[in-house]
Amino acid sequence: MEENVLLASNMSNQELMNKGNSMMDDTDQAIERGKKIVLETINVGTDTSAALKAQTDQMSRVVNELDSIHFSLKKASKLVKEIGRQVATDKCIMAFLFLIVIGVIAIIIVKIVNPNNKDIRDIPGLAPPAMNRRLLWNHY
């Protein structure tokens, strides 16, 4: 500070005025640079805020879609379980039908092979094998 006082004492009034004006110009320029920085900061903040809002909206949509997908997966899982039960039931029914068909075929084969077996009742609709063959017309 003492150097500035000594410097100022050696200067004329015009030089002091010029120096003061120069310092004020430098200060004005610094203030203008500061204002520009503040405006740029505000613009960056505004852009960042808009981008953040857009990303928040996008995240909200993604969460809604994930909820929808989760619901669909639960529903699909239930449908797959139900279809699995129906397939198991259908397989059981097919197995019982197969056993019934095999049993009927076995009874028919036994009746054809051994027609005199009285332990097996006649099957309705299945004519017993003919013991004596009779012709409907006579040979004269």
Q: What is the DSSP string of 47-88?
A: HHHHHHHHHHHHHHHHHHHHHHHHHHHHHHHHHHHHHHHHHH
Which position has the higher pLDDT, 7 or 92?
92
Q: What is the pLDDT of residue 60?
A: 95
How does the average pLDDT of the chain come out, rounded? Answer: 83
Positive or negative, the CA dihedral 33, 34, 39, 41 is positive
Residues 34-56 as b or e (16 or more Cβ within 10 Å = b)? eeeeeeeeeeeeeeeeeeeeeee
Residues 6-31: tens digit of each pLDDT: 565 677 888 888 888 999 999 999 99
Structure tokens that stand for 62 in this block:
């993604």
Q: What is the pLDDT of residue 101?
A: 95
Span 41-51, mean pLDDT? Answer: 95
Worst-scoring range by mean pLDDT, 28-42, 96-110, 124-138?
124-138
Q: Is the pTM of this model over 0.85?
A: no
